[in-house]
Amino acid sequence: MKKLYLTFLWHMHQPYYKNPMTKQYEMPWVYLHAIKDYYEMPWYLSNFENIKATFNLVPSLIVQLLEYVKGEADCKFLNTLKKPVSELTEKEKAYLIEMLFFANLKTMIYPFPRYYELFNKYERIKENSISPEEQANAFTDSEILDLEVLFILSWTGNSFREKSKFISELLKKGVGFTETEKIKLINELNNLIKEIIPFYEHLETQKRISISTTPFYHPIVPLLIDIKSAKQATSDVLLPKIYVSFSDDADRHVSSAVEYYNKIFLKKPSGFWPSEGSISNETLNIFSNNGIKWTASDEEVLFNSLEEPRNRLNIYKQYIFQDRIKIYFRDKILSDLIGFTYADWNPKDAVDDFIGRLKHIYDECSFSPLVPVILDGENAWEFYYNNGKDFFFELYSRLEKEDWIQTVRFDDIDQIEDIQTSKIDNIVAGSWIGGNFLTWIGHPEKNKAWELLSKTKSFVLTQNLTEEKKKEAQKYLCISEGSDWFWWYGDDHYSSFADKFDMLFRANLMEIYAIAGEKIPDQLLQPIKKSYKKAIIRHPNYYIHPIIDGYISNYFEWLNAGIIDLQFDASAMDTSNVHLKEMYYGYDKNNFYFLLKGNIKYLIDKDYYLGIDVVLTDKKVHIRVPISTHKKEIILKDFQCDGIDYAVGEVIEFKIPLECIGKNIELNFKIFKNDKTVEKIPFYNFIHLDLSKNFDYEWYV
């Protein structure tokens, strides 16, 4: 009987956050995802007898996780959190106040009334543009204590909430927590995270899951083998000046990952999810030489590699590379729907859509299709309500009921007789993002990082180090080769912690010079990362003169406007879980204009207000208007300005006289209901706009 074989791979990864100089974890995301996702995701699956999947655990993640499990992690955040609030310094309070609001507003803050109340207080305080220390001092000790406990509870997964009676009691209490309860909560969670690795092992013993891994510190292996491989998918990419080969490091990442996996799980891995799905001919050979039987990448890499017209049905086969290793190619559409889109849907509607798409694949294929769905296993769920539990329980229960669908582990595919297999002898090097490597190379900042890495390795090769010191230096080189450092350089991704990533990258290279007892080069002391506070898709290319009526009246009205992605700082992965999606902006000699696109229809005439915070040279001003087609009112705070106009329809259009705001501003948007913030865009930042360019002498056709 024809079947559709659905194979999930959930990729678990965090970069190496330990500062080599202080030996302290600079960021707490391994711990936070440990209490929220690493146990939670296999637990969802364990509730359904016939659901199988593959979980990919990166060695550098396991190393950090086990340090938390053993109580050996010197974590800056946890150390500060454990201190009694009354003993915190002003600086520590400011650090905590900033950290304790790093939770999704809709899905993690809003469900806790007290947390949401304190969030709104924080937003009001920040409107006065006071320093972080002053902001922290605006909170009482009891408020900070509540914040600490609620932040941890908001990050605690459903599985741990259900396993712990004490955590359930704190959830019911909701406010007025004590220092004793805070420490007991931390200890309770520390005991629970000890169950993570044993739980994976238990499920694998039952053949419910299989466990794959990745090159040790998550490097882009094809670039380590040959930096010029970036040109295979992007011929005009600007490459860094590299003075040394990293090919030996590529093999080291792979062989050490196999060795470490064997140490933890007492057997060698059969499969690799390569870092960022990055493969090349040479990468596949290294995998095969190290005993890896299967690997995977993205459909774009497959389409780039096949010498035939693009045909989506080709995704749903097994490929054998040069009779050495099997390759599977992820269905980008299905994977990205789960990762980026379904979070904002009703779970039943999302699953209906997913199953419907699988049925279309099943009907289109004359053979039994193998459908790989591969994505991040931890970062998307904070944008789902209930940490994705409702979605997964609906998805897994539906999959069990469909007799034409069978979920399988990647390790079991060999045993399925009716899978179609094709040979492939050449791979065009690429990754899961666009089938190329532009996320990690080509931008001046990314290239500078590569060049500093190259110079540091060249330095190591010239040093007469003892074997012990050589091994230590090599460790920090490998850490520095991790993909995440290069991900955050440039202006294609945003993180409020980008300066921390920059510092950690350079610190690992600095440590190599310290090991050798040599002076640290000045270049490593200077930040690589510049401050990118916007995600401008396009700058304005001429003056605009739109009609402010709430509609794009004609094709030319906003044609010359700039465009900004309003979701650029939502997460490491981006998300669609907001109402305001995109901003068009521009100006003429007298006025600044902007247009907001998104789910405007949902907001209209439901007592929602749009707030605009504008940072001028000397102050911050506020504008608030109702999102309504019949009620027009402009509320100004700390601001006087005649001539403001706006309209709400299919879009929101605005006009503000330039004489009121000047030509260099920062702004962000908030949606209010009953004076409560329900959405803030961008979440962490302001958008910087330069409205000073003179287009008088530009050709315009």
For 82-91, 103-112, 692-701, which range has the lowest pLDDT when averaged over its residues?
A: 692-701
Sign of CA dihedral 44, 46, 48, 53: positive
Output the six-digit token pair for 259.
Answer: 């060795």
d(CA 668, CA 578): 14
Query: For 127-173, where are the alpha helices, taking DSSP H only?
Result: 132-137, 141-155, 158-163, 165-173
Instruction: Walk across the sheet containing 652-657 and list its strands.
Output: 536-538, 562-565, 580-587, 591-598, 652-657, 645-648
Res. 535 pLDDT band, cuts 50 70 90: low
Share of the chain above pLDDT 90, in %: 80
570 pLDDT exceeds 70?
A: no
Beta-bridge mates of residue 357? none
Single-letter code of the amino acid located at 229? S
Q: Does the pLDDT of residue 660 top 80, yes or no?
A: yes
pLDDT of residue 531: 57
Alpha-carbon gap, residue 296 to 252, rounded angstroms:
20
Pairwise CA distance, residues 12 & 376, whole Å: 6
- In this prediction, residue 574 carries a pLDDT of 37
| Mean pLDDT (whole number) for 691-700 | 66
pLDDT band at 564 (very low <50, low <70, confident <90, very high): confident
pLDDT greater than 80 at residue 289: yes
Average pLDDT over residues 486-492: 87
Contacts of 511 (CB under 8 A, 6+ apart): 20, 21, 476
Average pLDDT over residues 443-466: 96
Q: Which of 374-383, 526-535, 660-669 has the lowest mean pLDDT?
A: 526-535
* Residue 562 in tokens: 């700039």
Window from 251-265, 567-581, 615-629 with minimum mean pLDDT: 567-581
CB-based contacts of 428: which residues, under 8 Å, 6+ apart?
232, 233, 301, 304, 305, 435
Non-local CB neighbours of 484 within 8 Å, separated by 6+ positions:
15, 218, 501
Residue 174: which residues within 8 A CB-CB, separation 6 or more?
Answer: 112, 113, 114
Angle, helix 165-173 to helix 141-155, in steps of 10 degrees: 130
Pairing relationship of beta strands 635-637 and 209-212 according to DSSP bridges: unpaired
Q: Is 56 exposed, middle or buried (0-12, 13-18, 19+ CB in 10 A)?
A: buried
pLDDT band at 692 (very low <50, low <70, confident <90, very high): confident
69, 200 Cβ separation under 8 angstroms: no
* 699 band by pLDDT with thresholds 50, 70 and 90: very low
pLDDT computed for residue 685 by the predictor: 64
The answer to whether 240 and 451 are in contact (CB under 8 A) is yes
Confidence grade of residue 684 (pLDDT, cut at 50, 70, 90): low
pLDDT tops 90 at residue 490: no
Interacting residues of 124 by C-beta distance below 8 A, sequence separation 6+: none
* Dist. CA 426–CA 599, nearest whole Å: 44
pLDDT at 612 over 90: yes
Q: What is the pTM of this model?
A: 0.84
pLDDT of 129 reads 64
- Residue 598 is encoded by which pair of tokens? 């998104």
Q: What is the mean pLDDT of residues 78-93?
A: 97
Average pLDDT over residues 19-28: 96
Kindly tell me if the per-residue pLDDT of 576 is higher than 70: no
pLDDT at 212: 98
3-state secondary structure of 458: helix
Average pLDDT over residues 682-689: 73
Best CA proximity match to 321, nearest among 213, 432, 422: 422
Encoded amino acid at 527, one letter = P
Give Dmax over CA atoms of the chain in angstroms: 78
Nearest one of 334, 682, 694, 674 to 533, comparing CA atoms: 682
Mean per-residue pLDDT of the chain: 93
Amino acid in the structure at residue 554:
N
- 3-state DSSP helix/strand/coil percent for the chain, to nearest 5? 45, 20, 35
Question: For residues 271 and 186, what is the distance between their CA atoms, to the nearest angstrom?
Answer: 35
Q: Give the CATH number of domain 536-690; options: 2.60.40.1190, 3.90.1300.10, 2.60.110.10, 3.90.930.12.
A: 2.60.40.1190
Residue 282 has pLDDT above 70, yes or no: yes
- Return the HEC string of 499-546: HHHHHHHHHHHHHHHHHHCCCCCHHHHCCCCCCCCCCEEECCCCCCCC
| 545: three-class secondary structure by DSSP | coil
Q: Is the pLDDT of residue 308 over 70?
A: yes
Residue 683: the pLDDT is 65
Residue 695 has pLDDT above 90, yes or no: no
CA nearest to 629, candidates 608, 656, 657: 608
Q: How far is CA 459 from CA 229, 373, 507, in A?
A: 24, 42, 16
Residue 128 has pLDDT above 80, yes or no: no
pLDDT band at 571 (very low <50, low <70, confident <90, very high): very low
Residue 561 or 181, more confident: 181
- In tens, the pLDDT along 181-216 reads 999 999 999 999 999 999 999 999 999 999 999 999
